[in-house]
Amino acid sequence: MVMKQQPDQSSSLQDIWGFSCFLETLCKDGFYHEVTTTTKPVGPTVTYHDKEYINFASINVLNTHQEPDVMKHFLQAAKQYGLVTGGSRVTQGVSSAHKEMEEELTRITGKERSISFASGLLANIGFINAMTCKFDFSSTCGINNSDAVFVLDRDCHWSLWKAASHLEFGKQLFPFRHNDPKHLEILLKRLSKTHKKIVVVFESIYSADGSIAPMKELLDACEKYGAISYVDNANGFMFYGPEQRLFSEEFKQMNRATFVMVSFSKAVGMEGGAISGPKDMITMFELLSGTSLFTAAIQPPTASTITYILHKLEKHPEIMDQYLERSLKLRQVLEEKHFRLNDTPSYIISVIIGNDKKAVKVYEACLENNIMVGMFRYPAVKPGHALIRIMMNAGQTDEQLQCLIAFLEKMKDTYKF
Ligand SMILES: Cc1ncc(COP(=O)(O)O)c(C=O)c1O
């Protein structure tokens, strides 16, 4: 039997909690747009309620998931492994597809072992849980890492800050200025006098502004003061590293990091996340992360397809080379047309609008003109630094890119940014 909700009871309850009032204000100020519902596969274009948009908002930009061989592999894997593992890793186990995927990742990252999670976000939360846990199985079997201190780049992803929020700020948890090794070094110098367990966390490439960490200097500081390092490589995985690509010097440094975290929802284009690192610590993350023990794993056909895509991308580095070259060209054209862009020429292109209200107007005008972009404003970015984020999709035609450029030029004239 379905219980009918009394409308007046529901709204008065929500009023007590402040949700209705919050929603109303957000809508009025243009902060909230109803989440769009897609009715066809997402790729170079995206369809919402039968209206097609050129899609510059999705993060699986290589479009791997739409390729016929990948689809075929997924369907075969669904038949071979079934759709689900049926429970969490520790209670139910994982499929051989998971093991194979984790072994491939271990080989690619050059670490000792890897563990996968249902998402990159869960990997991050699980890492901080495990590294700060205090737990006794019996009087002789336990672990106590409640004396660990964490030093995070100020611009780290929400999942990292959220996971660390149980730590006392200024005592166990310290932010360092974004991509600033000197500031990190000052903190580590001080903390290493009183603490043995220090974890430094930063990202390889930051998703709002596309900036890239000065990995050599950050890892130098970690090594100098005996700190463990955790690099969230969600956005860089499979894109950057090889010699012929930009930033190869930085990304090569990842060999020195204690842990590397990846997401499979970006270059790989599927869903899931993983951490690679020292064998015993990774093994214990099964129990101590919480986000492995208390939830289900990646679905087996997805795990198998991730391995398939990893092999494909490794065998065909030109997929990434061509994508990065085209996205760099798009950036150059925007620069020539005097748009204000983020400083780092990574594949994440941000057009800086500045004023929040203008950014909302530009975003809404893009939608009206069948162009889907990402929009970041305070608190996602610093006040006065609102931006439109363009994630070019590998399947987009030159005409579709021209359409974006022409429309943004029109917006620039109208809103003077
Ligand atoms: C830096 C960073 N870490 C972690 C995540 C979470 O990854 P996932 O989508 O696999 O949960 C993201 C995704 O936006 C990210 O940008």
What is the per-residue pLDDT across 7-61, written as a single tens digit (0 to 9) for each? Answer: 566 666 767 888 888 899 988 877 787 887 888 999 999 998 889 999 999 999 9
For ligand 1, the distance from its centroid to the CA atom of residue 230, given in whole angstroms, is 14
Q: By C-alpha distance, which of 278, 265, 376, 330 is closest to 42?
A: 265
Lowest mean pLDDT among 79-83, 129-133, 195-199, 354-358: 354-358
Task: Decide whether any atom of ligand 1 lies within 6 Å of the 301 Cβ.
Answer: no
Topology of 67-315 in CATH? Aspartate Aminotransferase; domain 2 (3.40.640)
Q: What is the DSSP letter of 3?
A: P
The domain limits of the chain are 31-61+317-415, 67-315
Helix (H, G, I), strand (E, B) or coil at 261: strand
- Give me 358's structure tokens: 């203008």
Residue nearest to atom 3 of ligand 1 (CA): 234
Average the pLDDT over 179-203 and give the result: 98
What ligand 1 atom has the least distance to the C-alpha of 206?
Answer: 1
Average the pLDDT over 279-302 and give the result: 97
Whether the per-residue pLDDT at 4 is higher than 80: the answer is no
Average the pLDDT over 130-149 and give the result: 95
Q: By C-alpha distance, which of 280, 295, 282, 273 is closest to 101?
A: 273
Average per-residue pLDDT in the chain?
Answer: 94
Average the pLDDT over 76-96 and give the result: 95
Task: Decide whether any atom of ligand 1 lies within 6 Å of the 241 Cβ.
Answer: no
Topology of 31-61+317-415 in CATH? Aspartate Aminotransferase, domain 1 (3.90.1150)
pLDDT number for residue 171: 97
Residues 6+ apart with CB under 8 A from 17: none
For ligand 1, the distance from its centroid to the CA atom of residue 194, given in whole angstroms, is 33
Give the model's confidence band at 380: pLDDT under 50 very low, under 70 low, under 90 confident, else very high: confident
pLDDT number for residue 5: 52
Average the pLDDT over 130-136 and give the result: 95
pLDDT digit string, tens, across residues 203-262: 999 998 899 999 999 999 999 999 999 999 999 999 999 999 999 999 999 999 999 999
pLDDT digit string, tens, across residues 318-327: 999 999 999 9
pLDDT number for residue 400: 98
Ligand 1 mutation target, pool 105, 127, 260, 263, most atoms within 8 A of CB: 263
What ligand 1 atom has the least distance to the C-alpha of 273?
Answer: 10
Determine the straight-line distance between the first and last CA of the chain, rounded to whole angstroms.
Answer: 56
For ligand 1, the distance from its centroid to the CA atom of residue 162, given in whole angstroms, is 13
pLDDT number for residue 1: 47
Looking at 166-241, which runs of residues are DSSP E strands? 173-176, 198-203, 228-232
- Give me 164's structure tokens: 């660390």
